[in-house]
Amino acid sequence: MFGGQPLRRRAVEALGDIGPDANATSELSEALEDSDRTVRDSAADALAKMGRAAAPAAPTLVRLVRERHISAAPAARALRAAGLGAADAEPVGLELLESPDQSTRQEVAAALGALYPDSRKTADALLDAVKRKDWAVRENLAPALAHSSLKDTLLTPALTKLTADKDELVRVNARCALREIATPAATKAVGGEK
């Protein structure tokens, strides 16, 4: 990319605003390697707006997160948008669930839940994260857990516990996740609500 940092960042943001119609995945992938972190983070956010078109950038995103050259939250949003199979982001995602940054944990939890719905490792890590005292993380983990294929055996009991959480948003999101799971046990847990 050319120009000063503000110009490069604005150009990346403009491509993101256009979305998939910009056909700019390769340009945004190049911007992930920019010398300025704000441009790299903006490129990841722009890739998140590209949806499945962001898939070719997924391996680069994983590498840059692992090397700490890009912020994890925008990278997680982009990986989630890229979809299943775009890159093996599970190991780095599981590490990032332990991040001291709340926004990172929230984004990573959502991405892991969407990208690895059949992974026992991811389900176990998300359930461990549910036990945290951080209400915002618990609030956002309930919808992430609803994507798992381990619904009856593992998740319905954990989400049912969250319906009694002290925070109202956690309770509401747990009920929403249980309604989304829609198995007999989950439906019973929310009293037959649809």
Please report, to the nearest 10 degrees, the dihedral formed by the alpha carbons of residues 27, 115, 100, 98 taken in order: -130
What one-character DSSP code corresponds to residue 59?
H
Residues 60 and 140 in one domain: no
Q: Examine residue 39 and state whether it is found in any structural domain, yes or no.
A: yes
Q: Examine residue 99 and state whether it is found in any structural domain, yes or no.
A: no
Residues 19 and 63 in one domain: yes
3-state helix, strand, coil in the chain (%, to 5): 70, 0, 30
Residues 124 and 193 in one domain: yes
- We report the CATH number of the domain holding residue 157 as 1.25.10
Q: Examine residue 78 and state whether it is found in any structural domain, yes or no.
A: yes
Q: What is the pLDDT of residues 79-119, one digit of tens each?
A: 988 887 666 888 988 988 888 888 888 888 888 888 888 88
Average pLDDT over residues 38-57: 94
Work out the burial of residue 106: count CB atoms within 10 Å of its CB; fewer than 13 is exposed, 13-18 middle, 19 or more buried: buried
Mean pLDDT of the chain: 85
What one-character DSSP code corresponds to residue 153?
I
Q: Examine residue 94 and state whether it is found in any structural domain, yes or no.
A: no
Q: Examine residue 115 and state whether it is found in any structural domain, yes or no.
A: no
What one-character DSSP code corresponds to residue 100?
S
Q: Please give the model's pTM, rounded to 2 decimal places.
A: 0.74
Q: Examine residue 101 and state whether it is found in any structural domain, yes or no.
A: no
- Structural domains in the chain (count): 2
What one-character DSSP code corresponds to residue 34?
-
Q: Examine residue 110 and state whether it is found in any structural domain, yes or no.
A: no
